[in-house]
Chains A and B, each alone.
Chain A
Amino acid sequence: MKFGVIVFPGSNCDHDAAYAVAHNLGQPLHHTAEFIWHSSATLGGVDAVILPGGFAYGDYLRCGAIAKFSPVMRAVKRFAAEGGLVLGVCNGFQILVEAGLLPGALMRNRGLKFICREVRLRAATTRSPFTSAALPGQTLRMPIAHGEGCYFAEERMLDELEAEDRIAFRYVDNPNGSLRNIAGILNRERNVMGMMPHPERASEPLMGSADGLVVFQSMLHAHSILQKTPQATSAV
């Protein structure tokens, strides 16, 4: 499975994401991750897209507010509309929200300070291509590193997210004031997920946790099913 990692000017977790999927997922090393420059109009045949963490375009305005206008985002939207898997981590989540691919907003942390630390997450649903490898209600350890990760949406939207089982992860000890302890959400079609914690930073025991692999393994699994389906059809 080939992951495409989008590189905005100011992305700084791009190499970490590529390293995690290339080295820690048990995939053959070649052709597992490729970088896609922000000015690119196409995604070049990747199987899934990762919007990595960082400070796209410096984020001196609202986080992700400029990134949503970059040419590559048109391609990402098209890819998502066609059912492709899109994962936004941290700044990537902020960009997906700004771009309208996910609902709500990410505001300043409750304490108004940047927080870098490990948090515990609960897999709120396993019914998604990003969380299927988790056990229902499983607690996962992953780091957060953000200043603006307080998830906000209107009550009605929050109810809708819950009713449609679109909350992917919840914080066990809410570090940033996110409403309803939301750490990650899905779009209605369940092929786009944004999350503030960093699964790529928890992808090998040496980093203190390998729990983040759950996200990438789920994506791998979803992709393998997708690949098998057309074959099955043609066999009929």
Chain B
Amino acid sequence: MKKRIFCSIIIFFISFKLHSLEVTLTQGTIKPTPIAVTNFYSKDDKEAKIGKNISMVISDNLERSGLFKPIERKSFIQNEESLSNHPRFEDWRIIKAQHLIAGKIYKKNEKISVEFRLYDVFSQKQLLGKKYETSEKNWRRVSHIISDAIFERITGEGGYFDTRVVYVAETGPKKSKQKRLAIMDQDQANHRFLTDGSYLVLTPRFSPNSQKITYMSYMTRNSPRVYIFDIETGHQEIVGEFPGMTFAPRFSPDGKKIIMSYADPDVGNSEIYILDLATRVSRRITNSSAIDVSASFSPDGKKIVFNSDRSGRRHLYVAESNGKNLKRISKEGGSYYTPVWSPRGDYIAFTKQEGGQFYIGVMEIDGSNERMIAKSFHVEGPTWAPNGRYLLYFKEERTAEDGSGGESNLYSIDLTGYNERKIITPLGGSDPAWSPLMH
């Protein structure tokens, strides 16, 4: 009897503790995360206007990423003033906001203080809180920095909003296009031209600190050369003294070297060279009778990828930065151009031409899992966002028989091949380059 009572008590407790319904989920919903971005609150009207602008920029940034869906402001129940004290999570749950961004702005000693908080509405927790002090004219940059902080906290991936894009602005008929260097924020704000269009410019690339641009220019009409352009001072300088044409330059990850192609007029083909910017000494990396061009460093600077026609068709090759252990990585048919190593180090983006079509594709660094993410009559020149998740490239329309059309524009796309968006520029655009993060 006693034993029975004892056993039944044990069984009761064990069953009480262990019984649990088990469910396994293998497929969730892939959709943009609903997020509520409120106006940054201020008692002063002027600052409140800045606060509103800041929240607009943040909202637009997050929406453009394709991963977030900002909720319509009209549906907000709690106002900014009340929100600046404490959020009423129930009010935000009703409108199905998964995350909430609230902020305050106030002036302090000729500077503005911008404070924001990111909340998880479902778990009713604050995920992030930061405060920035800056001059008033920097409000847009602060907006981008806040966007990056939010993006990073929610996705776990680095942000890319506080960045700039340099590209070649194009205008005029196809045969005699005027090409100018232009720079803008990634959201197309603060657009300005860096060159006047009196000479042709091609393939601009940012330095790792985003302060300099290296590009190829026909400043001296008969001998195109690689130049370095200082964004702040506007100063330009030629890179190295080569008897032939230098082109397709790119900075090394430490910013101390430039890798480029050099076409020796005596030999007739082009080889890959690395030039030390401090000593101005150049070193030849490849040595073959084929045309080797479009070299790009891996993020650690230990390897390079370039395209070469040494196998008959243009294919992608990976080698150590000294040219050793050369290996072809592209295996499919078609011709491959303009390879770029991802800042994350896991992928190589490229242009591919096959069957009368151009493609923007990505493959793993060993050449596996090749997939195309964009396709058109002419797409070319992919460049990575600093987080390695987004790409920019340019797309050229087909030219009509009467000579009309043929415009080229910049586009952004997600690594998955979704969320393709046209980048609105004052003129047509080609050869984009995405800067690293500026903060």
Note whether A and B form a binding pair.
no
Give the A-binding residues of B (Cβ under 8 A): none
Q: A interface vs B, CB < 8 Å?
A: none
